[in-house]
């Protein structure tokens, strides 16, 4: 049940079987239905999610009522609104399952106990955050310097399964283009 | 010489005076001239910089030859190209001093020794990375959902000193607007 997360952690930090048992005693597994929300805007984010199966989108609703996708999270990726999780202030984001999914949940109440009993998790979460930070910097780079078409081709070459997996209107929102234009790009290919 | 970094670390993780001595033995201080580069595109990023004094910009040169500012770094902020630092691959970014500056340098060669001798630095750098990640997510949110004018007013209300400090053309590049438009916004105010 916790195999995927233990494997992922061991890529970045040491974790004996006994330590893995301590860790998993502090985590829970949750099945998530397609379109179910893990977080809704206006609520405080009190959990951190490791995607064991499935795909999530983090989005916000703009002043004009449109849903703008900020990021996706697939297997072996952590997702939450860190600012809300950290400050206890309401989140401006929603996190929703794109497909039937399974997450491993770290509740904020268990976070300090985890870091106290398993200090190597500091290293693991440092690397998770550094990688996520770096990915967002690249994204900003792409938003400013690549057209929607170029971003689509880049994404399609690097993550072809992902492009197939996500509904077209969500991918278009993530890329900042219209679904119609994305449809044309797909047809061209 | 290292006061600012020790103070900053103690906000996030414990550090005795003896441990601070170990840490500072692994760091160096560097004076940086205005417009001097800490990193140039095409080179590998092998250092991590803590801004003790001054202001830096991280930018890239677009296919059209324009300099696009991706982020700024001011006092108490760490800056580098983490992806290049981690992978050893050439960076696509430049990091340049906007004004005369002083940085505290963590060389990649000393990083593991630091984490081995001072495990609490894992916690510190986890928090640094989480905060940086969260800031970039917000930035993406603003890019998609606020006009250049709205982004300028938000920045001006949250970081007024910063808006005064950075040359107009760099701030315009960061906001994705022309310097002429930024000039008009400033005049309106």
The kind and range of the H/E element at B72 are strand B67-73
DSSP state of B166: S
Pair of tokens at residue B101: 């500056």
When scoring A145, A174, A176 by the number of chain B Cβ atoms within 10 A, the one with the most, hence best to mutate, is A145
DSSP state of A42: T
Write out the DSSP string of B2-57. Answer: -HHHHHHHHTTS---HHHHHHHHHTEEEEEE-TT-EEE-TTSB--EEEEEEES-EE
CATH number at B90 reads 2.60.120.10
Position A105 in a domain: yes
Residue of B nearest to A141 (CA): B70
Task: Kindly state the average pLDDT of the residues A158-183.
Answer: 89
Task: Kindly state the average pLDDT of the residues B162-189.
Answer: 88
The burial class, CB within 10 Å (0-12 / 13-18 / 19+), for A14 is: exposed
Position B131 in a domain: no
DSSP state of B98: S
**pLDDT tens profile B72-95:** 999 999 999 999 999 999 999 999
**pLDDT value for B189:** 64
When scoring A137, A147, A178 by the number of chain B Cβ atoms within 10 A, the one with the most, hence best to mutate, is A137
Query: Each residue of A68-96: b (16+ CB within 10 Å) or e?
Result: bbbbbbbeebbbbbbbbbeeeeebbbbbb
The verdict on B18 touching A (C-beta cutoff 8 Å) is no
Position B95 in a domain: yes
Position B77 in a domain: yes
Structural domains of chain B, count: 1
Position B171 in a domain: no
Residue of B nearest to A69 (CA): B141
Position B26 in a domain: yes
Which one, of A102, A80, A98, lies nearest residue A4 by Cα?
A102
Query: The pTM is what?
Result: 0.91
Q: Quick check: B104 and B32 in contact, CB under 8 A?
A: no
Contact B130 A92 (CB under 8 A): no
Q: How confident is the model at residue A189 (pLDDT cuts 50, 70, 90)?
A: low
**pLDDT tens profile A4-58:** 999 999 999 999 999 999 999 999 999 999 999 999 999 999 999 999 999 999 9
**pLDDT value for A141:** 86
Which one, of A136, A114, A128, lies nearest residue A76 by Cα?
A128
Which one, of B54, B52, B56, lies nearest residue B5 by Cα?
B52
Examine the pLDDT at B163 and tell me if it is beyond 90. Answer: no
Strands A78-79 and A47-53: antiparallel
Task: Kindly state the average pLDDT of the residues A129-152.
Answer: 89
> Torsion angle of alpha carbons A137, A141, A144, A149, nearest 10°?
-120
Residue A183 φ/ψ region, left for φ over 0, alpha for ψ in the -120 to 50 degree band, beta for the rest: alpha
Examine the pLDDT at A2 and tell me if it is beyond 90. Answer: yes
Position B175 in a domain: no
Position A133 in a domain: no
**pLDDT value for A138:** 87
The whole-angstrom separation of Cα B48 and Cα B85 is 8
**pLDDT tens profile B124-144:** 999 999 999 998 988 888 888
Task: Kindly state the average pLDDT of the residues A173-177.
Answer: 89
Q: Which domain covers residue A29, as residue numbers? A: 3-118
């Amino acid at each position: 049940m916790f195999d995927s997360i233990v494997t992922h952690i061991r890529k970045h930090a040491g974790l004996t079987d006994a330590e893995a048992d301590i860790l998993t005693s502090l985590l829970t597994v949750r099945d998530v239905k397609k379109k179910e929300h893990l977080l809704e805007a206006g609520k405080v984010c009190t959990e951190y999610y490791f995607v064991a199966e499935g795909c999530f989108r983090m989005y916000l609703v703009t002043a004009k009522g449109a849903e703008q996708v900020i990021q996706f999270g697939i297997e072996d990726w952590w997702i939450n609104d860190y600012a809300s999780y950290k400050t206890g202030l309401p989140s401006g984001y929603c996190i929703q399952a794109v497909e039937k999914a399974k997450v491993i949940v770290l509740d904020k109440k268990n976070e300090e106990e985890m870091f106290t009993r398993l200090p190597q998790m500091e290293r693991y979460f440092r690397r998770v955050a550094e990688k996520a930070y770096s990915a967002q910097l690249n994204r900003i780079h792409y938003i400013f310097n690549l057209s929607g078409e170029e971003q689509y081709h880049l994404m399609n070459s690097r993550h072809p399964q992902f492009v197939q997996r996500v509904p077209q209107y969500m991918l278009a929102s993530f890329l900042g283009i219209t679904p119609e234009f994305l449809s044309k790009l797909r047809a061209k290919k």
